[in-house]
C-alpha cells in the first residue's frame, strides 16, 4: 500500500514537473511535444518496471498518451528575431485535431495510453491510467493559452531594457471565410508604440465579446492576451494608444465599445474603424451601390474627440 501510494504521488509530481520543464526549455510547440513524449515515456516506463510491469509497456503508454494529448489539444509556438536593440517575438496557436476541450484531450490521452501499453504487451487499463495522468496533469494544466479567446497570434517588440514597445493581436481564424482577413493581419508590420487588434467587431465589442452589458469579459480577454494592456491596467505605463482594425468598433451610435474602454482608463486613446475593415487593409463602406473610403474615429476619456483619420 505504501509503495503504491509513493509511486502514485511521485508519478503525479514528476508528470506535472515535466510539463513545466517543457515550457521553460522550448518555445517551439513541436520541440515541446517531442521532449514531453520522450520524458513521459521514460519516466512512466521506469514506474511501471518498479511496480513489477514491463518497462516498454509503461514507456509506450506514457509516450503515446503524451503525443496524443499534444496532437488533440494543440498549443502555442514562438519565434524571435533581434535587430539592433529591438527583439520581435511572434507567438501563434497550433490548432489541435480534436474537440471537447480538456475533457476531450484527457479522454484521447487515456485511450492512447491504454492502446500503447496493450500493443507493447502490457495491461490496457494500466496504460489508460498512465495516459489519464499524463494528459490530465501535464497537457491540460500546461496546455495552450488563449484557446477560449480564439487568439491566433501575438506579435510584440521589446527594447533592450525589456519594455514591450509594440504589440498586435490577431483573432481572425484561418477558416475559408476569414482567411483573407487573417493573412492581411499577419502581413502588416508592427506599429511602434501602439497596440493593434485585428478581429471581427461591432459597436458593442470585438475579440468574440460583443455585449456591452458584459464588457468586463472583454477587459479580461485583453488583460490575458496583451502585455501592453496589462501594463496600463497595472500602472506600469501611463498612456496607451490602441488601434482597432475591427469593423464598426468606432461607429457613432450611442455608447460603443471604444467609448466604454477609454472611459475606464484616462490614459487610453483608441483609433477605431468607423466602418468595415477589409482584407486590403482599408476601411470601407458602401453608399448608393458604390464603395467609399472609410475612416477611424478617435476616442479619449469616454468620448469621440470629433477627430477622424485614415490609417494604412
- Is residue 210 domain-resident? yes
The residue ranking higher by pLDDT, 132 or 265, is 265
* Count: domains in the chain: 2
pLDDT tens-digit series, residues 61-111 = 777 777 767 666 656 667 878 888 999 998 876 655 554 456 655 665 666
One domain, residues 165 and 274:
yes
Output the average pLDDT for the chain.
79
One domain, residues 56 and 26:
yes
One domain, residues 166 and 297:
yes
One domain, residues 275 and 181:
yes
- Is residue 148 domain-resident? no
Cα separation values, 287 from 175, 275, 290, 291, Å: 29, 12, 5, 6
Q: How far is Cα 133 from Cα 25, in angstroms, rounded to an integer?
A: 22
| Residue 144 confidence (pLDDT) | 46
What average pLDDT does this structure show over 42-52? 76
| Residue 92 confidence (pLDDT) | 78
- Is residue 70 domain-resident? yes
- Is residue 42 domain-resident? yes
Cα separation values, 239 from 1, 164, 216, Å: 60, 13, 20
| Residue 171 confidence (pLDDT) | 94
Q: Based on the number of CB atoms within 10 Å of its own CB, is 58 exposed (0-12), middle (13-18) or buried (19 or more)?
A: buried
What average pLDDT does this structure show over 207-211? 77
Q: Based on the number of CB atoms within 10 Å of its own CB, is 205 exposed (0-12), middle (13-18) or buried (19 or more)?
A: buried
One domain, residues 107 and 24:
yes
Q: What range defines the domain where residue 293 resides?
A: 153-309
One domain, residues 119 and 196:
no
pTM, entire model = 0.68
Bridge partners of 206, per DSSP, are 201, 209
- Is residue 40 domain-resident? yes
| Residue 32 confidence (pLDDT) | 67
Q: pLDDT-based confidence at 212, cuts 50/70/90? A: low
| Residue 227 confidence (pLDDT) | 96
One domain, residues 165 and 33:
no
| Residue 56 confidence (pLDDT) | 77
Q: Which has the closest alpha carbon to 144: 27, 242, 59, 16?
A: 27
One domain, residues 168 and 250:
yes
Residue where one domain finishes, among candidates 108, 140, 172: 140
What average pLDDT does this structure show over 21-33? 58
- Give Cβ neighbours of residue 200 (< 8 Å, ≥ 6 apart): 171, 172, 206, 208, 246, 247
- Is residue 300 domain-resident? yes
Q: How far is Cα 238 from Cα 235, in angstroms, rounded to an integer?
A: 6
One domain, residues 199 and 302:
yes
| Residue 8 confidence (pLDDT) | 43
One domain, residues 193 and 285:
yes
One domain, residues 161 and 305:
yes
One domain, residues 8 and 52:
yes
Amino acid at each position: 500500500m505504501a509503495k503504491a501510494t509513493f509511486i502514485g504521488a511521485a508519478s503525479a509530481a514528476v508528470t506535472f514537473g515535466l510539463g513545466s520543464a517543457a515550457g521553460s526549455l522550448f518555445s517551439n510547440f513541436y520541440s515541446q511535444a517531442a521532449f514531453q513524449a520522450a520524458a513521459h515515456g521514460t519516466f512512466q516506463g521506469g514506474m511501471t518496471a518498479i511496480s513489477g510491469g514491463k518497462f516498454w509497456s509503461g514507456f509506450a503508454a506514457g509516450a503515446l498518451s503524451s503525443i496524443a494529448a499534444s496532437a488533440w489539444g494543440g498549443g502555442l509556438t514562438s519565434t524571435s528575431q533581434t535587430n539592433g536593440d529591438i527583439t520581435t517575438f511572434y507567438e501563434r496557436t497550433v490548432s489541435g485535431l480534436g474537440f471537447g476541450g480538456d475533457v476531450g484531450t484527457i479522454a484521447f490521452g487515456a485511450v492512447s495510453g491504454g492502446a500503447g501499453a496493450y500493443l507493447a504487451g502490457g495491461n490496457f487499463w494500466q496504460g489508460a491510467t498512465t495516459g489519464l495522468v499524463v494528459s490530465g496533469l501535464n497537457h491540460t494544466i500546461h496546455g495552450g493559452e488563449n484557446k477560449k479567446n480564439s487568439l491566433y497570434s501575438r506579435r510584440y517588440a521589446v527594447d533592450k531594457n525589456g519594455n514591450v514597445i509594440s504589440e498586435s493581436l490577431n483573432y481572425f481564424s484561418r477558416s475559408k471565410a476569414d482567411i483573407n482577413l487573417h493573412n492581411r493581419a499577419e502581413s502588416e508590420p508592427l506599429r511602434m508604440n501602439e497596440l493593434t487588434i485585428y478581429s471581427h467587431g461591432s459597436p458593442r465589442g470585438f475579440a468574440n465579446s460583443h455585449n456591452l452589458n458584459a464588457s468586463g469579459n472583454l477587459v479580461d480577454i485583453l488583460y490575458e492576451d496583451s502585455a501592453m494592456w496589462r501594463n496600463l491596467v497595472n500602472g506600469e505605463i501611463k498612456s496607451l494608444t490602441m488601434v482597432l482594425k475591427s469593423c464598426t468598433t468606432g461607429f457613432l451610435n450611442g455608447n460603443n465599445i471604444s467609448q466604454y474602454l477609454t472611459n475606464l482608463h484616462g490614459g487610453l486613446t483608441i483609433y477605431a474603424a468607423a466602418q468595415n475593415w477589409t482584407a486590403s487593409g482599408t476601411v470601407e463602406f458602401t453608399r448608393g451601390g458604390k464603395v467609399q473610403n472609410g475612416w477611424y474615429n478617435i476616442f479619449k476619456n469616454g468620448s469621440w474627440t470629433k477627430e477622424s483619420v485614415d490609417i494604412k
